[in-house]
Amino acid sequence: MNQSHRRLVLPLLSVLLLTASAVVADSSLTLTRQGAIGGEQRLVSPGGVFQLGLFPVANGTKWFLGIWFTVSPPAVVWVANRGRPLSALSSGMVMLSGRGDLVLLVTARDNETVWSSNPPPAAGETTKTKKFAVVIAAVTTGVALLALSIGLLIWRRIRRGQEATMFEDILRGECPTYHLEVIRAATGGFCPKNEIGRGGFGIVYKLDSSSTSLPGTNQDRNFVMGEMLDGQEVAVKKLSAENRVQGLKEFKNEVDLIAKLQHRNLVRLLGCCIHCSERILVYEYMSNKSLDTFIFDPRRRATLSWKKRMDITLGIARGLLYLHQDSRHTMIHRDLKAANVLLDGDMVAKISDFGIAKLFSSIGDSQHSTVTERIVGTYGYMSPEYAMDGLVSFMQDVYSLGVLLLEIVSGRRNQRSFNLIAHAWKLFEENKSLELLDPAVRDGCSLVELEQAVTCIQVGLLCVQESPSQRPQMSVVIPMLSHQQAPGRPLRPVVCTPVSTPVDLLDVLDDTSGNVELTITNIEGRW
C-alpha cells in the first residue's frame, strides 16, 4: 500500500478501534490492551458499515487482517499482513500492545508478531541509521574544527601582522634597538644580584660591571662594562611576559613617547629590545632609585632635608607641566606616584614609566577629557572621577600630584589603613598643618621653610579637590609652590575608602612598596 493510501486508512482504523464493538453471538466487546480478538470475531463500526477482522483468500489457505465494506458485494479497503499471511483462522489473534500499537500475533508460534501498526526498524536499517548519524556527526565536527582552525590561523596572521608592523615602526623610530643576547650578557643573564627595582610591569636591572665589550649592531657596541661609551650608566627594564596591562601596544606607546620627550625632569630612554615575548627598555641609570625608597624609609627619610624635598617637588611639577603643556606631544601620565619618580646622583627628580600614558591628541583638541573602560593605576593616587567613571583628563595627573605633595611633606603613604588626605585636611582645618610635616626634618627647618611646607600642604589639598574644575592647572601650581602666587583656600576634599573589586574588571598590579596598584573606591560625602 502506498503512502497516500496509508494516510487515508489509518485515520479510518483509528475511528474504528475507538468506537467499534466486537460482535460475537450477539455480545458486544471492546478491544483493550488487556483483551484480544481472534477467529471469526470482528470489530464493527457504528452503523455496521466497516468491519475489522481476519478474512480468507485462496480457498481459506491464507488469512489476512483487514478492513472491508459490509455492503454487497464486500470490498476490502485495507490489508495489514500482506507479505505474511496466516495459514489458519484459528492461529491469528489481534490485540493492542503495551505501547498502544495494533498487532497481529500467531498463537501457534508463541505469539510471534506477524504485523504491527508501528513496526521497529529492521536490524539492517538501524545499523544504517546509526552509521549515517555517526557520519553526519563526524562531518559536522570536522567542519566546525576546520572553521575554527582557519579562524585561529587568520587571527594569528592578523595579530602577527600587527605586531610586525609595530615592531617595524619601532625599528624605524627614533629609539635605538639592541639584540636580546647582548642585553642578557650585559645583565649577567638577568641575574637577581643585578636587580635594582621591581614593579607591576616588570623588573629593572643595572648592567653587570663585569661585562666587557659585546658584539652586535652599531648600537650594541655602545655597551661597555655596564656603561655607555660616553660614560653614562644605564638600566634595563625587562617587562613581565605575564603582564596583562602593558602589551605590545603599550610597549610601543612607551617607546614612542619617551623617545620623543626631552626634559630634565623626565627619564631618558636610550634603547629597546623586542625578541619573541621579551620586551626590554634601556634607560639612563638613576643611582638613587625611586623617591618612595627615601620618603617612606624610617632611616633614609632623614637624609632628605626640606630643601631637597622642595627641589624634588618643583622638579616633578616642572616635568608634569612639560607633559601637559610644553611638550611637542602633550600627554597625561596616568600613573604618577612616588615609585615612578626616580632620583639621579644629584637627587634631581625624573618622572618615569609611561606605559599607560595617554597622548592628548588621542583625546581630541576640542575636548579636555575622555572616558576609558580600562581603569589602570595605583590606589591612593587615582582621582575619584577616573576611579569611578573612567574619566581621563589632565586633572587626573594634578590629583596624583596633590597626593604626592602630601606624601613628600609628611613622609607618610596615603593607603587603606591611613587616609593621608583626610588627616591633612583635619590638621589644616584646625590650623595645625605643620604637625603634618615629617618630624625627621621639622626641627631643622627655618621659618621660611616652614612657610613653604604649609604652602605645599595647601597646594596639595587644592590638587585633590573633588571636582576636576576646582583643581589648579600645572601652569598655576608651579607659581604657587614658588611663592609667586598665593594659593586659594581649598574646600574639603573627597575622602575615598577602598572596596573589593573583581579582578576581571580592573587591572591589579603588585608594587614592591606594598601598594596594591588598583582598587576602586567609594566616595563619601562631605560632613
Give the residue numbers annotated as catalytic, written as ranges.
335
Dig out the grid coordinates for 239 from the structure.
617587562
Residue 471 CA, chain-centre distance (Å), reads 33
Long-range CB pairs of 241-247, under 8 A, 24+ apart, other chains included: 241/277, 241/278, 243/200, 243/201, 243/202, 244/507, 245/200, 245/201, 245/355, 245/356, 245/376, 245/507, 245/509, 246/201, 246/355, 246/356
Q: Which residues of 326-338 are buried (b: 16+ CB within 10 A; e: fewer)?
A: ebeeebbbbbbbb
- For residue 44, report the phi and psi dihedrals to the nearest 5 degrees: -115, 135
The type of residue at 514 is G
**HEC-encoded secondary structure of 95-156:** EECCCCCEEEEEHHHCCEEEEECCCCCCHHHHHHHHHHHHHHHHHHHHHHHHHHHHHHHHHH
Dig out the grid coordinates for 305 from the structure.
632635608
Contact 298, 335 (CB under 8 A): no
The type of residue at 325 is Q
The helix (run of H) or strand (run of E) holding residue 198 is strand 195-198
Distance, in Å, from the CA atom of 480 to the CA atom of 462, rounded to the nearest integer, reads: 11
The helix (run of H) or strand (run of E) holding residue 371 is strand 369-371
Distance, in Å, from the CA atom of 50 to the CA atom of 110, rounded to the nearest integer, reads: 30
From 276, 269, 248, select the one nearest 180 (Cα to Cα).
Answer: 276
Pairing of strands 36-38, 43-44: unpaired
| Three-state DSSP state, 401 | helix
DSSP 223: E
- For the beta carbon of residue 252, count every other beta carbon within 10 angstroms: 20
Contact 357, 330 (CB under 8 A): no
- For the beta carbon of residue 69, count every other beta carbon within 10 angstroms: 13
Contact 347, 309 (CB under 8 A): no
